[in-house]
């Protein structure tokens, strides 16, 4: 029994390490593209590359998959060593994070460096342009790719710089990219005049699109209390987003002192803000 349990723990640890590598790889790709993805997008892509098994997919209290909670907690290691930053506007990789991907190019090497606090060799420079990232699901026995020459790096920097310049962070998605409707479906439906709570098809819980800002808004007047809800797309639960914009994730939580509050949903990040 002990051997089987040890094997299961090792397998879970291996997959978690692979997802952490996928998080850094995804943030690196986003940086070269000029993006600043939110936590939900980053984590969802990591889980897509290294899917949850049955044990990890088990929903904990609050509707959070066990594996998602473990991954979210583990990303604190990447932030602690200075390889990534968790900002209110999104997650981003640091220069040291990019250097770490060069110095520790495989899942095993990266995990060992994190566990042992291995410093990045001083001679490892910040890559001038993206290299082909080694996916978390690929074998890890290969050696690190040969260093690129300065000439090749400079040539690759040109299109990367153009991509960053072309990607305007402040530019919002076009109205045509928006869903037909967005609902705030939660336990305050009755307070909004809905016939029942947690029903995304009802008119009373629909948000309105601010076409100029490409955001969905709804100002609601609620008594003091703690409320939970999710964002439901096109009046059904087929597509819905929870905390951090994670698809089907844990409920959003609103701790409210009472009175009007505006809920804003951004379909580009799949996340919400309050004002």
| DSSP secondary structure letter of residue 190 | G
pLDDT surpasses 50 at 124? yes
Other C-beta atoms closer than 10 Å to the C-beta of 157 total 13
User: Tokens 């609050």 correspond to what residue?
Assistant: 62
| Residue range 83-122, pLDDT digits in tens | 999 876 778 999 999 999 999 999 999 999 999 999 999 9
Q: How many residues does the chain have?
A: 275
Delineate the domains of the chain, giving CATH numbers in brackets.
2-166 (no CATH), 175-274 (2.60.40.10)
Which tokens sit at 118?
Answer: 């291995």
25/19 Cα distance (integer angstroms): 10
b or e along 30-67 (b: 16 or more beta carbons within 10 Å of the residue's beta carbon)?
bbbebbbbbbbbbbbbbbebbebeeebeeeeeeebbbb
- Beta-bridge mates of residue 265: 216, 272
Alpha helix positions (H), the chain: 2-32, 39-49, 54-57, 66-80, 95-103, 107-116, 150-166
Q: What predicted TM-score, i.e. pTM, was given to this entire model?
A: 0.51
pLDDT surpasses 90 at 6? no
| Residue range 161-217, pLDDT digits in tens | 444 444 444 443 334 588 999 999 999 988 888 888 999 999 999 999 988 888 999
Which tokens sit at 161?
Answer: 């710089």
Taking phi over 0 as left and psi of -120 to 50 as alpha, with beta for the rest, 117 belongs to left
> Is the distance from CB of 90 to CB of 36 less than 8 angstroms?
yes
What is the per-residue pLDDT for 190? 86
Which tokens sit at 64?
Answer: 């959070």
């Amino acid at each position: 029994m002990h051997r089987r349990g040890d094997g299961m723990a090792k397998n879970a640890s291996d997959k978690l390490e692979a997802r952490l590598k996928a998080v850094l790889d995804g943030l690196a790709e986003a940086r070269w593209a000029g993006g600043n993805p939110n936590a939900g997008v980053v984590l969802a892509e990591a889980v897509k590359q290294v899917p949850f098994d049955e044990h990890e997919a088990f929903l904990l209290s609050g509707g959070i998959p066990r594996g998602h909670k473990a991954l979210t907690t583990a990303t604190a290691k990447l932030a602690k060593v200075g390889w990534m930053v968790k900002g209110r506007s999104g997650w981003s990789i640091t220069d040291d994070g990019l250097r770490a991907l060069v110095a520790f190019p495989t899942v095993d090497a990266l995990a060992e460096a994190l566990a042992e606090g291995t410093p990045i060799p001083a001679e490892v420079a910040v890559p001038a342009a993206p290299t082909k990232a080694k996916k978390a699901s690929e074998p890890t026995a290969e050696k690190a790719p040969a260093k690129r020459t300065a000439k090749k790096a400079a040539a690759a920097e040109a299109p990367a710089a153009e991509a960053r310049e072309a990607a305007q962070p402040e530019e919002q998605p076009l109205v045509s990219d928006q869903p037909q409707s967005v609902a705030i479906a939660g336990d305050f439906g009755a307070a909004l005049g809905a016939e029942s709570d947690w029903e995304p098809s009802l008119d009373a819980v629909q948000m309105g699109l601010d076409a100029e800002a490409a955001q969905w808004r709804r100002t609601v007047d609620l008594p003091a209390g703690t409320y939970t809800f999710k964002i439901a797309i096109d009046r059904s639960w087929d597509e819905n987003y929870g905390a951090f914009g994670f698809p089907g994730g844990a409920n959003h939580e609103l701790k409210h002192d009472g009175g009007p509050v505006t809920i804003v949903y951004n379909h580009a990040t799949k996340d919400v803000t309050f004002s």
